[in-house]
Amino acid sequence: MNNKRACCPRCARPMRTCLCQWIVTTANHTELIILQHPLEVNNAKNSARLLQLSLGNCRVYEGETFTDDFLHNLILADDKKALLLFPQTPDAPSQQFTPADSTPAHCAQQRLIMLDGTWRKCRKMLYLNPILQQLPRLSLDHCPPSRYHIRKAHADNQLSTLEASCYALQQLENNAVDYHPLLTAFDGFVAQQLALIPPQQ
């Protein structure tokens, strides 16, 4: 007897938790690269898959440690300017952007690198991949409260991968692309996941 659950051919999720109704096609100007920790790949609560399916300019690579050659080729491809979405530290301040830097042509020459995992796993990924430590960082300030009510946050400013990416792209592109429909769809995804959680006795 085959007990394997049927999966959606588009989103590769079990039909019960299919993401397709929440996909919002969004043509981002700035390329988004997601480096996804292996433990996140099959996590039903992970938002990176919805983000990948919605954004027109997004790629996802699975791993905790990447070879230097892979990262060099990924980051430096097409002579784009790569930025790491990660909070600034005294030794790695975030890069500031002005509206003059946010024309569509300029945005097309940028590549945003996003680490997808728990905060602890993302810090480990950064530590294990020194090339990522050398990138200029983009940090998020004054973001709305997280909509991600299905995973526990350890700080008020911690966001899902989808939320953080949307807000970062808005900042880089000076709001030239509207990410609000995708964020609204994300609310539906979160509600769907919450409905699957058994009530506490």
Q: What is the pLDDT of residues 106-154, one digit of tens each?
A: 888 899 999 999 989 999 999 999 999 999 999 887 888 887 766 565 5
Q: What is the pLDDT of residues 8-19, one digit of tens each?
A: 999 988 888 899
Contact 173, 58 (CB under 8 A): no
In a domain, 201, yes or no: no
In a domain, 193, yes or no: no
Entry field: residues in the chain: 201
Q: What is the pLDDT of residues 163-180, one digit of tens each?
A: 999 999 999 998 999 999
In a domain, 81, yes or no: yes
In a domain, 10, yes or no: no
In a domain, 1, yes or no: no
Considering its fold, how many domains does the chain have in total? 1
Query: Could you say which DSSP state residue 155 is in?
Result: S
What integer best gives the mean pLDDT of the chain?
87
Q: What is the DSSP string of 26-90?
A: B--SSEEEEEE-GGGTT-TT--HHHHHHHBSSEEEEE-SS--HHHHHHHHHGGGPEEEEES--BT
- For tokens 């430096």, what's the residue? 76
Environment class of 25 (CB within 10 Å of its CB; exposed 0-12, middle 13-18, buried 19+): exposed
Q: Which residues pair with 82 in a beta bridge?
A: 111
The residue segments making up the domain with residue 62 are 25-87+101-139+159-176
Helical (H) or strand (E) element with 162 = helix 161-172
